[in-house]
Amino acid sequence: MGLVARSKRRGGNFPHPFLIGGEMRFIQVGIGSMGRRWLQWLTGNSDAEVVALVDVDPTALASARAAGNYREEICFSSLRDALKHVDADALVCITPPVHHKQCVTQAMKAGLNVITEKPMADSLPDCISILRTSHDTERTCVVSQNYRYKPETQTLAHLVRSGQIGDIGQVKIDYYLGWDCEGRFTQEIEHPLLVDMSIHHFDLIRFVTGLNVVSVRGESWNPPWSNYKGDCSSALVFELENGAHVVYNASWGAKGQFCGWDGNWQIEGSKGSILYEKGQITIYEAPKLYRVTKTETVCIKKPEKTGQEYVLNNFIHSLKHGLRPQTDVFDNIHSIAMVFAAIKAVKTGKRTPVLDRRLQQAIADYKPRLAKEEA
């Protein structure tokens, strides 16, 4: 009998049988463009082993099998078949968001721990279902918020959380790209920017400031030249739990000069401000009202692992040591809730709480059972 069945009987996340000396065995669901990159990260990790590939597209499976020299018998058209035929410890889900809930909950109910690409799911009820399943099965589910694990954003978070500019009072984020998503699901949905991209920035707001978000108001629109069906531009104002405000201007339909994927940030506190623009971080010390007394460009050090490679490492490390990974669903629910609240706000034109009563109740009912690893 395989590890999946044994895990279901044992209950609890830790310790796992694979820790006795073997690699963590992964099923990967979704072998498209992002899926092929995940295969590279998995095969490049000495603590991971790919034991099954799943995709509804036989051409994608054949291509991945040839590229990675995988055996035909570990390639499946459904997760159900993969679970029947292989023993696994974990699953990576790289499907379109509409399929996340089915894939992720099925895996956790089968005893697997999960990494899923962002966003957690494409609706709040589906996100709550994933949260509940993680709680009830005692399986770990991590959302790959890889933007946290860039050298620049790690440095930015350290500077802000260390108190170098004092208490945060206001933040401005400008994000503008002309991004052609032809052929991807994002081109067809109602709010492509907010659903597929802004989740990164919203999660970074929480990560960099160390604060959750209380409410949001704003507007969204589609410029006349856009090739998106839904609104690809937005202007939002978030209120943080300390009363500070974040102004977020973003567009995937920009023309002219573009910014980096993280956007440009100006973070202002009681002792000064931090400007993050085009990969450079500058601190402006202003301890008394507005006069700047010192300006410093910060040296950014690159860690050994970044992006999804860090997400994967953190996932495996946390399982080994009985900790919650940094972006598990119990944390990420506060980031994805910002997306759904923003969509509601631009539709209604009203200030919208990030956590409605239903979500507040779900967070109260489905609390994590493990201590969280320090960022």
Is 50 exceeded by the pLDDT of residue 17?
no
Q: What is the pTM of this model?
A: 0.91
pLDDT at 335 over 90: yes
- Which of 268, 228, 276 minimizes the C-alpha distance to 244? 268
**Per-residue confidence (pLDDT) for residue 369, from 0 to 100:** 76
Please check the confidence at residue 243 and state whether its pLDDT lies above 50.
yes
Lowest mean pLDDT among 8-22, 208-222, 329-343: 8-22
Strand-pairing partners, residue 284, are 273, 295
| Residue 24 contacts residue 89 (beta carbons within 8 Å) | yes
Q: Tens digits of per-residue pLDDT, 274-331?
A: 999 988 999 999 998 899 999 999 999 888 889 999 999 999 999 999 999 999 999 9
Reported as a single tens digit per residue, the pLDDT across 19-36 is 445 689 999 999 988 999
Q: pLDDT tens digits, residue range 205-218? A: 999 999 999 999 99
Q: Are 325 and 140 within 8 A, CB to CB?
A: yes
Distance separating alpha carbons of residues 86 and 293, to the nearest angstrom: 63
Q: What are the C-alpha distances in Å from 194 to residues 17, 175, 249, 332? A: 40, 12, 11, 16
* Per-domain boundaries in the chain: 3-147+307-328+355-365, 151-297
Report the distance separating Cα 24 and Cα 28, nearest Å. Answer: 12
Calculate mean pLDDT across residues 338-352. Answer: 97
Q: What is the mean pLDDT of residues 154-183?
A: 93
Q: What is the pLDDT of residues 71-110, one digit of tens each?
A: 999 999 999 999 999 999 999 999 999 999 999 999 999 9
3-147+307-328+355-365: CATH, from 3.40.225.10, 3.40.50.2000, 3.40.50.720, 3.30.420.40: 3.40.50.720
CATH superfamily to which 151-297 belongs: Dihydrodipicolinate Reductase; domain 2 (3.30.360.10)
Of 348 and 16, more confident: 348
Cβ atoms of residues 330 and 368 within 8 Å = yes
| pLDDT for residue 371 | 67
Mean residue pLDDT across the chain: 91
pLDDT score recorded for residue 8: 39
Q: What percent of the chain has pLDDT over 90?
A: 81
CB 148 within 8 A of CB 204: yes
Q: Is the predicted pLDDT of residue 157 greater than 90, yes or no?
A: yes
Q: Do domains 3-147+307-328+355-365 and 151-297 have the same CATH topology?
A: no
Give phi and psi for 295, each to the nearest 5.
-125, 135
Q: Name residues whose C-beta falls within 8 Å of residue 153's C-beta, 6 or more positions apart in sequence.
A: 147, 204, 207, 208, 262
Q: 13: phi > 0 → left, psi -120 to 50 → alpha, else beta; which? A: alpha
Residue 11 has a pLDDT of 38
Looking at residue 181, its pLDDT comes to: 75
How much is the pLDDT for 304?
83
Q: Residue 68 — very low, low, confident or very high, per pLDDT cuts 50/70/90?
A: confident
* Cα distance between residue 38 and residue 193, in whole Å: 23
